[in-house]
Amino acid sequence: MFFGRIPSVKWPAVLGLWLLLSPSGLPAERTPAAEGIRFCVPFWVLKDGAPVRPRIGRGDLSIFAGPEPLQITRQEQPGTPTFLFLAFDLVEDQAPINAAKQALAEEVRKLGPEYWVGLIGVQKTLSVIQDPTKDKPLLLKKILQIRQFGKAGLLESIQALADFSSSLMRKSSVRVAVILVTDSDVANYRTEYRNPQINRSDSRDLSRRFPGRALQEEISRLSTAMVRFPIPLLVVHVAPGRDSLNRIYQDGLRQVTGAGGGRLFLSKSTGDISRTLQEAFEWADSFYAVEFQVSPRPSGLFEIEAKPGAALSPSMRLSHPARLFFPSEAQP
């Protein structure tokens, strides 16, 4: 079971809700390997750069892999049953942490009845703070009580988080989104990403000429891996650093989240955190989960293109992952 990706954690509530919300209480039907593989991918409809929620049917959207038209097999609209996982990587200054928790609590209060919300701690490994529930008083209590200490953990756990959540959306018939709230500083990881000078007295030491090389290598590795996990992974950084290495880090987070179709939101100040989180919740609320079948092809990356139908205004455009990964074996 894919729940094993979260070490030492079982997800009975998630599994029960998944079976409850899937049609006939069963997982979505999988395509035999010989016929191809089905992918479930997040799509947004944007107008003036902001997500909107027009009602669209399968005939209003066409998807291509190169010249090949792809058959859409399932399409979940905004407003349908949704798992929303709120993930926390908050270990730095208390002022932005408190502002983030208050803003999160306010956004949870606004959620509609279609949402089941789970809370996850993101540090060296993932940990369950609260199984998915509709119990808003319980969620608000847990959010405001969250205490995290130690080192930042986003880079160490984001792949496992994307793997788990994308597997859940692919295997069920519900939308799944993740909002990851972080205050991570690149200097506060267990791994040394600052690329310190190896020999301070040697002007030819290459570490002088390639600051952030270790960080860039990790970002490149994660970006390559995240293509396998198309999911609305929305990272909100509530206290982004201003130095050059943290700017490299933030550009890297934008690259990593974008590889799977997600997005990075940066707060400009503590007072900006509420607006930034509200924007992330709007994106989580507005995506379409579109499943389509891809015929057999060699294992590796391939590009997709989506074209809107007549139901969408010419002023609207589609946003979705640009590349997907076709595995060597059928997904379980």
Contact 107, 328 (CB under 8 A): no
Outline where the chain has alpha helix (H).
12-21, 94-110, 136-145, 154-171, 213-226, 244-259, 273-286
Using DSSP's 3-state secondary structure scheme, residue 331 falls into: coil
Q: In this predicted structure, what is the pLDDT of residue 36?
A: 83
Contact 264, 180 (CB under 8 A): no
CA-atom Rg of the chain in angstroms: 20
CA proximity to 181, closest of 150, 211, 153:
153
Burial track 133-163 (b if 16+ CB lie within 10 A, e otherwise): beeeeebbebbeebebeebbbbbbbbbbbbb
Is residue 25 scored above 70 in pLDDT? no
Question: Per the CATH hierarchy, to which homologous superfamily does domain 82-286 belong?
Answer: von Willebrand factor, type A domain (3.40.50.410)
Nearest-5° Cα angle at 184, 182 to 188: 155
Is residue 260 scored above 70 in pLDDT? yes
Q: In this predicted structure, what is the pLDDT of residue 134?
A: 96
Q: How far is CA 212 from the centre of its chain?
A: 24
With pLDDT > 70 as the criterion, what percentage of the chain qualifies?
A: 83
Contact 162, 133 (CB under 8 A): no
Q: Which of residues 27 and 143 earns the better pLDDT score?
A: 143
Neighbours of 52 (CB within 10 A): 16
Region of 300 (left: φ > 0; alpha: ψ -120 to 50; beta: rest) is: left
Q: For the chain, give me the number of helices (H) and strands (E)?
A: 7, 15
Q: What is the pTM of this model?
A: 0.87
Is residue 7 scored above 50 in pLDDT? no
Is residue 144 scored above 90 in pLDDT? yes
- Please give the Cα distance from 67 to 185 (Å, whole number): 44
**Residue 206 binned pLDDT confidence (cut-offs 50, 70, 90):** very low
- Please give the Cα distance from 231 to 163 (Å, whole number): 9
Is residue 94 scored above 90 in pLDDT? yes
Domain borders along the chain are 82-286
Is residue 218 scored above 90 in pLDDT? yes
Torsion sign, CA atoms 125, 131, 136, 137? negative
**Residue 13 binned pLDDT confidence (cut-offs 50, 70, 90):** low
Question: Any residues with CB less than 8 A from the CB of 50 and at least 6 apart, and which?
Answer: 282
Contact 148, 182 (CB under 8 A): no
Helix (H) or strand (E) run with residue 292 in it: strand 288-294
Q: How far is CA 167 from the centre of its chain?
A: 12
With pLDDT > 90 as the criterion, what percentage of the chain qualifies?
A: 68
pLDDT digits (tens, 9 = 90+) for 219-241: 999 999 999 999 999 999 999 99
- Please give the Cα distance from 173 to 76 (Å, whole number): 8
Tell me which of 162-176, 194-208, 218-232 is least confident: 194-208
Is residue 214 scored above 70 in pLDDT? yes
| DSSP character at residue 328 | S
Is residue 35 scored above 70 in pLDDT? yes
pLDDT digits (tens, 9 = 90+) for 272-321: 999 999 999 999 999 999 999 999 999 999 999 998 887 788 888 999 99
Q: In this predicted structure, what is the pLDDT of residue 19?
A: 44
Extract the tokens encoding 52: 């909107």
| Residue count (the chain) | 332
Q: In this predicted structure, what is the pLDDT of residue 312?
A: 81
